[in-house]
Amino acid sequence: MRRLLLLLLALPLLALGADFVLWRWAEQQLATGLAEWDATQHENGWTLSAGTPSPGGFPLGATLTLPRTTLSGGADILPGGIDWTAERVVLRLALLHPRALVIAFEGRQSLRAGKLPAQVFAADQMHAAVPLDPTLPAGIVDLTAINLRNAATGQGTPGNGLSIANLQLHAETRAGTNEGEPAVSVSMQANGIGLPQAVPGSIPGGVSWPLGPSIAHMDLDGAIDGPMPHAEALPARLTAWRDGGGTVAIQKFSLEWGPLALGASATLALDQDLQPMGAASARVAGWADTLDALARAHMLSPRAALAAKAVLGLLARTPEEGGGSEVEIPLAVQDRALSMGRIPLARLPMINWLGN
């Protein structure tokens, strides 16, 4: 009986000791993995800097907290480069799921892309899940953000800037792809998109968003196909990608904004001058109310809105499954000209990939 009692007392201590050993192993895995990732990114022209990492998470998992984290680089991808900062980044491995790395982004963050001003933002919850399974393709990330919002003013309310109630993003990257194979694929769902507040005097009446102050949802499924070359200069990289049969395929894009319901798909490439070309098909519902709203906001003249409604009314059809009428619109981009069928709509500006 005495031996049984001692054994019963020893079992929790043994379990705690085993958990501690496993925790220490997971902690070392996090530190080693971070160092290897940092070295790889440094070879690719990126610089990671952070305060002194602090371990934690015992007994349920291992965490490594990086204060004042900054990642800079990407000048070969985007003229002017990219700078991203965060107050804290927490790397987490659950002891029961060691093949799933969770990266939490806490506090304020800022992002500067190219020559655009830095954007400061925050979220109630924002984390990325990265599988560590060697049987899966490299570069899989699932990002979740709850109440993502502009934080430049310190208020973080939807009226102060762009906000997204719920954002889900799945991205995959593959190395060594050939023509027709996706090098990068993205799937995104965003719900409850609050638009920045109206700027008084921006247009007559001070109404910046004629279709309403929020977008109910926006979904996107797309991929960049073809080989991804590693030329140093961006124009040379784009030329090699184009010559290798590179395309951008948008399998699905949908948007619900006030009366407007939009669905579209497109395939785009680059022409000999590295300008976009391709074709798209858009399906539009709520077009009559949308045109009326644009006219009320003085973005269209009443006469133009009436003429557009008359033309679209001739093209409209009622779906077999029922509901309101919708219009199928074929679009094309060629030689920097946007057209609907054979009707020219607009002349597009020249894209300068050097950013001069």
Residues found in the chain: 356
Residues 169-190: pLDDT tens digits? 999 988 777 777 888 999 999 9
pLDDT above 60: residue 202: no
Quick one: average pLDDT of 199-211? 57
- In whole angstroms, give the CA distance from residue 264 to residue 23: 49
pLDDT above 50: residue 101: yes
pLDDT at res. 8: 46
136 forms bridges with which residues in the sheet?
Answer: none
pLDDT at res. 205: 43
Share of the chain above pLDDT 90, in %: 38
Residues 114-166: pLDDT tens digits? 888 899 999 999 999 998 877 766 688 999 999 999 887 544 444 457 899 99
pLDDT at res. 110: 94
| Token reading at 257 | 């904004």
Decide which of 75 and 46 is more confident.
Answer: 46
| Token reading at 118 | 């830095």
Q: Which of 221, 166, 217, 164 minimizes the C-alpha distance to 195?
A: 164
Quick one: average pLDDT of 267-292? 92
Decide which of 278 and 320 is more confident.
Answer: 278
**What Å distances lie between residue 261 and 44, 219, 287, 321, CA to CA?**
42, 12, 8, 16
| Token reading at 78 | 């985007």
- In whole angstroms, give the CA distance from residue 342 to residue 265: 19
DSSP character string of 221-240: EEEEES-----SSHHHHHHH
Q: Which of 226, 212, 221 minimizes the C-alpha distance to 158?
A: 212
**Whole-structure pTM value:** 0.83
| Most trustworthy range by pLDDT among 121-130, 159-168, 298-307, 319-328 | 121-130
pLDDT at res. 19: 44
pLDDT at res. 16: 43
| Token reading at 184 | 């990068």
pLDDT at res. 235: 84
Residues 12-68: pLDDT tens digits? 444 444 444 555 666 788 888 888 888 888 888 889 999 999 988 767 778 899 999
pLDDT at res. 160: 57
Quick one: average pLDDT of 189-202? 75
At what angle are helices 287-296 and 302-315 packed, to 10 degrees?
170
Confidence of residue 313 (pLDDT cuts 50, 70, 90): confident
pLDDT at res. 13: 45
pLDDT at res. 207: 45
Helices (H), the chain: 2-43, 234-243, 287-296, 302-315
pLDDT at res. 158: 42
Q: How many CB atoms lie within 10 A of CB 85?
A: 20
Q: Which of 74, 54, 59 minimizes the C-alpha distance to 12?
A: 59
| Token reading at 198 | 């109206």
Quick one: average pLDDT of 312-339? 83
Quick one: average pLDDT of 97-121? 89
Residues 234-259: pLDDT tens digits? 888 889 889 988 999 999 999 999 99
